[in-house]
């Protein structure tokens, strides 16, 4: 029953990717880790978003063995699992090729903190890691080694990975990365934005993570 609820949650979250223009066709994927069993639910490989169902979501263990599901899991599964094995605080992982963030990735460029929204959400730059081929856990290793305290990282000439304490938090971060990348890209067309000072970034991030919004909605 518990896994059934996670499959439904994961299906609902996958709807958010095309809704927020973060993916095209079958690109992108989300996974969620069950805190109770440690099992991971992930999108099936190569299935279009409108064809996803609760039943098509794949349940795997941390070593990649399929526990439930009739389809092949996402081709990024090994990297998602690598992240979960090394980051016990992470319960959701999102991968997209969202356009503006991936434009920064295409040129191997991290996104400095030009905006208060980035200081709030990310507490620092959004780093850009090196290049790795899809298929095994090499991408997961780049994410774990390069992400620092940021909840998002760009992968050179590839795309975006985000992590979160919940899958919903990781999806929210994927939306925020793209929004910030689009604004920064626009700013770079009309001028030379200056990064916020580190101490200001720290203060903004602290305020946002401790005092903003409702106590129950804080990250
Ligand atoms: Zn990809």
Reported as a single tens digit per residue, the pLDDT across 65-82 is 999 999 999 999 999 999
Compute CA 142 distance to the chain's CA centroid, rounded to the nearest angstrom.
14
- Residue 212 among the catalytic residues: yes
Distance separating alpha carbons of residues 104 and 126, to the nearest angstrom: 10
- Catalytic status, residue 120: yes
3-state helix vs strand vs coil in the chain, percent to 5: 45, 15, 40
125-138 per-position pLDDT tens digit: 999 999 999 889 99
Q: pTM for this one? A: 0.96
Determine the distance separating the centroid of ligand 1 and the alpha carbon of 188, expressed in angstroms.
Answer: 26
Name the nearest CA neighbour of 7 among 24, 38, 30.
30
What lies within 8 Å, CB to CB, of 58 at 6+ separation is 41, 42, 43, 44, 66, 68, 69, 71, 72, 73, 74, 77
pLDDT at 1: 64
Residues 98 and 80: beta-carbon distance below 8 Å: no
């Amino acid at each position: 029953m518990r896994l059934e609820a996670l499959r439904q949650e994961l299906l609902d979250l996958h709807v958010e990717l095309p809704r927020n223009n973060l993916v095209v066709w079958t690109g992108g994927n989300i996974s969620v880790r069950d805190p109770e069993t440690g099992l991971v639910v992930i999108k099936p490989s190569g299935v279009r978003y409108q064809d996803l169902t609760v039943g098509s979501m794949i349940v795997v263990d941390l070593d990649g063995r399929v526990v439930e599901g009739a389809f092949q899991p996402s081709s990024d599964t090994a990297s998602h699992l690598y992240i979960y094995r090394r980051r016990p605080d992470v319960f959701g992982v999102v991968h997209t090729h969202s356009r503006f963030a991936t434009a920064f990735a295409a040129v191997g460029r991290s996104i400095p903190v030009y905006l208060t929204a980035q200081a709030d959400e990310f507490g620092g730059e959004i780093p850009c890691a090196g290049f790795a081929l899809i298929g095994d856990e090499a991408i997961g290793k780049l994410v774990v080694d390069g992400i620092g305290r940021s909840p998002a990282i760009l992968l050179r000439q590839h795309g975006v990975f985000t992590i979160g304490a919940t899958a919903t938090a990781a999806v929210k971060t994927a939306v925020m990365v793209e929004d910030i990348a689009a604004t920064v890209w626009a700013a770079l067309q009309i001028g030379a934005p200056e990064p916020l000072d580190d101490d200001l970034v720290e203060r903004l991030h602290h305020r946002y993570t401790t005092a903003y919004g409702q106590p129950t909605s804080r990250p």
